[in-house]
Each structure stands twice: as structure tokens, then as C-alpha cells.
């Protein structure tokens, strides 16, 4: 079993990193130096009760959570599972609505309007794009790419006799924008990681 110093130090490190704060930034919020934060995180000393309460308030957790031993791996796995399930739920909602529209046209008008299912891919990908924009840059890039090309494909298929394949040329600059945005985010994340280590 871990000592109180070890538990508190681990919890402060995990909460600080989860909230993308450097030691200096955390120190500034509670009027302590980054050296003091470093000593707490290394388990050299434990902050006093009042300071622990300030830290708990900053991270919006209870004081008990700072003092209890936590299984960070299990908590992270549960967070990821929850996020994945909520994304699946959003996508299922979209496909349920599309299926209902298809059924309505089929029953009410006797029309096999299968093209409505084409809209499901760009709609799903745009929801997933915005959902992952801040959390996962790579997934956001993938969903953005799927949206651009599936949306252009929908337009192309709906307007097939009128429009030609030249429509897809529009996708090239849009894809370029997504690539540039992804590269900037990737570089910024890399710089943040380097700064956090200092």
C-alpha cells in the first residue's frame, strides 16, 4: 500500500497533466512556486490541508479524491470507453433518423428512396469530427477527410446527370486545409509536451 505522500503526489501529477497545466501554471493559480509543486509531485513533502483544498477546487474534485489512492489506468480506460460509447450513440441516432425517413417515403409514397442513406456517412463523420476536434486530432482529421469526400460523393450522385466528376476538384483544397490544420495541431501538441517536461 502506498504512503499518503505517494498517493497525494501521484494524484496531483495526474490531475495537472490531465488538465494540461505545467508546474509553473499550477503554482501561479495557488500562489506557490513551480519548485514547491515539484517537491509535492516528487513526494518530498505533502501540502497543508488548506493548500490541498485549493488544489482540489482548481481541478474541480473533492479533497477526498486527492487523498485516496486511484487506479489511473482503469479510470482512463473507463473514460475512453464512455467517449466511444457516446460517439456510437450519436451515430446510431443519425442512422435511426435516416432509416425513419426512408421508411416514411417507402410507406407514404411507395417510393424506394435509398439515396437518403448516402447522407448518413457525411452526417456521421461531421458529428464525429466536431466531437473529436479537441480530444483527438488524428481522429478529427480522419473524420474531416471522410466528410469532405463523402459529401462531394453525395452531391455527385444526387446530381449525376447534371454534374461531372470535376466537382471532386473542390475536395483538393478542402483536404489541403485539413492537412495543414492537422499538422499545426500536431506540432503545437508536441511543443506542449516538450514544455511540460521542462
- Residues 55-98: pLDDT tens digits? 999 988 888 888 888 766 777 788 888 888 988 998 999 999 99
CA-nearest of 127, 125, 128, 143 to 181 is 143
Helix 49-58 to helix 23-30 angle (10° resolution) is 110
Residues 6+ apart with CB under 8 A from 170: 152
Rounded to whole angstroms, how far apart are CA atoms 179 and 140? 11
- Residues 128-158: pLDDT tens digits? 888 887 777 788 889 999 999 999 998 888 8
| Complete domains list, the chain, with CATH | 4-67 (1.10.260.40), 83-197 (no CATH)
Give the confidence band of 11 by pLDDT, cuts at 50, 70, 90: confident
CA-nearest of 176, 182, 189 to 141 is 182
Amino acid at each position: 500500500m502506498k504512503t499518503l505522500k505517494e498517493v497525494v503526489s501521484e494524484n496531483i501529477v495526474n490531475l495537472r497533466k490531465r488538465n494540461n497545466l505545467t508546474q509553473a501554471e499550477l503554482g501561479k493559480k495557488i500562489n506557490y512556486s513551480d519548485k514547491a509543486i515539484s517537491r509535492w509531485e516528487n513526494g518530498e513533502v505533502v501540502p497543508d490541508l488548506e493548500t490541498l483544498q485549493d488544489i482540489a477546487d482548481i481541478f474541480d474534485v473533492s479533497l477526498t479524491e486527492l487523498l485516496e489512492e486511484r487506479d489511473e489506468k482503469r479510470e482512463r480506460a473507463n473514460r475512453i470507453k464512455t467517449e466511444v460509447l457516446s460517439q456510437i450513440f450519436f451515430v446510431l441516432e443519425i442512422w435511426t433518423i435516416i432509416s425513419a425517413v426512408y421508411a416514411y417515403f417507402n410507406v407514404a409514397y411507395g417510393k424506394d428512396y435509398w439515396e437518403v442513406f448516402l447522407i448518413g456517412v457525411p452526417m456521421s463523420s461531421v458529428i464525429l469530427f466536431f466531437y473529436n476536434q479537441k480530444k483527438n486530432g488524428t481522429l478529427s482529421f480522419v473524420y474531416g477527410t471522410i466528410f469532405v469526400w463523402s459529401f462531394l460523393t453525395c452531391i455527385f450522385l444526387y446530381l449525376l446527370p447534371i454534374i461531372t466528376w470535376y466537382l471532386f476538384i473542390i475536395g483538393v483544397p478542402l483536404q489541403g486545409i485539413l492537412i495543414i490544420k492537422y499538422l499545426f495541431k500536431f506540432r503545437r501538441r508536441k511543443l506542449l509536451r516538450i514544455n511540460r517536461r521542462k
